[in-house]
Structure 1
Amino acid sequence: MNTQTKNNNAANTWLSNVYKYGKSVNSHDALKIAAITLMFIDHIGYYLFDNNSVMRLIGRSAAPLFYFLIGYTGKVNCKPSLLIYGGILSLTGLLFGHTFWINILYTFIFAYLILLYIPTTKLPVFVSIGLMVALIAANSVLYPYVEYGTLGIIIAITAHWLKEKVPLAGLWLALALGLHMFWQALVFNLFRTTVFTYGTLFITLSLWLVLYNYKLISLKIPKLCIFPSLLISRYSLDIYFYHVFLLKAYHLAHKYGYWFF
């Protein structure tokens, strides 16, 4: 097989992945695009704008969208590259925080495995409460070492309950989102002013309203927007890895005066 044939096959595979679920954009894609956009705002605010508080506040709503989709769909594409991405980004924590910080990609996988092997929708109420209490307690210990601790896993579980119409699932989701945003407000000192406090409450309520009313539906958008929208949706985790890696490289280069590009 010559080089041209290999390149053509690679291009065909890449293109087929974009259209693997069809050639229309749905609400699932829209949530992923929203999550990617909010994530960009968050990371650009941190790496390029000296930890800008407003951008970081806006970015607090990115991770819940990813975790919600994992729980609602019950799917994560656990391809080898995902493990590699998570490992690389976990190791870079040693350069920034001088500690090994387990990357969010691994918590995506862990949330998926919990939903795959534990019948959380069939648990008695007292067991469900016990599970949540245990995860909250674990978060207090794991948060300094695991990105988002167990907060995202709680959101994924409650999103799954919402999908399966478990009684009071909407309330569970509200508590999960509230806990996530409360913890973020403590970590990022978002209660320091009235504006940031109300901003945190507004984002929490907005997230709950959007996710509680979420339905998987097809969306009508301009034809020119279909391919880029599907591209971002299908390769969202790849986009996450490469943009974080490049921003970290830039940040280190700027901090220590080493320029690689």
Structure 2
Amino acid sequence: MQWLAMITMLIDHLGYAFFSDERYMRIIGRIAFPIYCYLLVVGYRHTRNVNKYLIRLMVIALLSQFPFMFAFNITNLNVVFTLLIGLLLMILLDRIPSRLFPISILLAAAFSLLAEVLHTDYGAYGILLILIYRYMPGYMMVLAHFALTLIFILTGHMSLIQVYSIFSTLLITASTELRPDVRFAAPPRWLWRAFYPAHLAVIAIIVQGSIHGYF
């Protein structure tokens, strides 16, 4: 699943930066972000040291920011900041007793608003999707993801193309519910952690080189 996330993200970013007329590349790219959100939840569930997990995400987010800005000529915060906010939220929610459920709702709303105010990639949509993967069982994830996406599309906060992201949750659910015993080969840890900033850096060099006439 990690390989699929990296490959589809790369296709999406290449389409955004160099092939804006090739809509199919952006459609394929919708697969990536939900998988990253799901893997964040899995990583949080199994990590032995959540503080190191937080620091690792922060480092990746900071290393990726300038390549992200120069690759796509935007000033938003990159998507790893969204994942970082989502991780912080999960940690805090796990420390709130179940009897204080209203506080959990307010906290989730506050962190979603924070993502919007900071203009992180995917913003509140990303935070809420992380919570869906954290708390929704089985095929309820698919329905919740579909409802969330539909709301953001109808309110004008997302493009219609985002509906294709539902296929990610279908894939996740099928792999965990139908074949939970199947394990796919994961990429080396160094590659998984370095891929996001590294591929953005390469795209940024090419884009900026083209703008300034170096290529």
User: What are the within-5 Å matches in structure 2 for residues 42-191 of structure 1?
Assistant: 42-50=12-20, 52-74=22-44, 75=47, 78=53, 82-92=57-67, 95=70, 96-97=72-73, 99=75, 101-119=76-94, 122=98, 141-142=116-117, 145-162=119-136, 165=137, 170-171=139-140, 174-176=143-145, 178-180=147-149, 183=152, 189-190=159-160
Conserved 8 A contact 2:9-2:29: yes
Separation in 1 of the partners of 2:10 and 2:60?
17
Q: TM-score scaled by structure 2?
A: 0.72
4+ aligned runs moved over 6 Å, structure 1? none
Give the number of the structure whose alpha-carbon radius of gyration is greater.
Answer: 1
The Cα shift of 1:152 comes to 2.0
1:69/1:156 contact within 8 Å kept: no
| Distance 1:109-1:252 versus aligned 2 partners, 3 A rule | same
Instruction: Give ranges in structure 1 of 5+ residues lacking alignment.
Output: 1-30, 191-195, 221-225
Superposed CA RMSD in Å reads 3.6
Offset of 1:118 from its aligned partner? Answer: 1.7
TM-score by length of 1: 0.61
Q: Secondary structure at the match of 2:123?
A: coil
1:136 Cα deviation from its structure 2 partner: 5.4
User: What is the percent sequence identity of the aligned residues?
Assistant: 19
- Number of corresponding residues: 204
Unaligned runs of at least 5 residues, structure 2: none
Question: What is the Cα deviation at residue 254 of structure 1?
Answer: 1.1
Cα pair distance change 1:183/1:42, threshold 3 Å: farther
Determine if contact 1:61/1:207 at 8 Å carries over to the other structure: yes
CA distance in 1, matches of 2:142, 2:16: 28
In proportion to residue count, which structure has more helix?
2
Q: Deviations along 1:62-119, whole A, 9 cap, x unmatched?
A: 01101012123424763766434322332345545463x2222222222222222322
Specify the SS of the correspondent of 1:69: helix
Contact 1:72–1:159 (Cα < 8 Å) also in 2: no
Counterpart CA distance in 2 for 1:217 and 1:240 is: 29
Cα shift readout 1:137-184 (whole Å, capped 9, x = no counterpart): 555x437x211113222222221213xx5xxx7436533454347647
Structure 1 residue 239 displacement after superposition? 1.2
- Cα deviation, residue 206, structure 1: 2.4
Q: In 1, distance between residues paired with 2:106 and 2:139? A: 18
1:230 aligned to 2:187?
yes
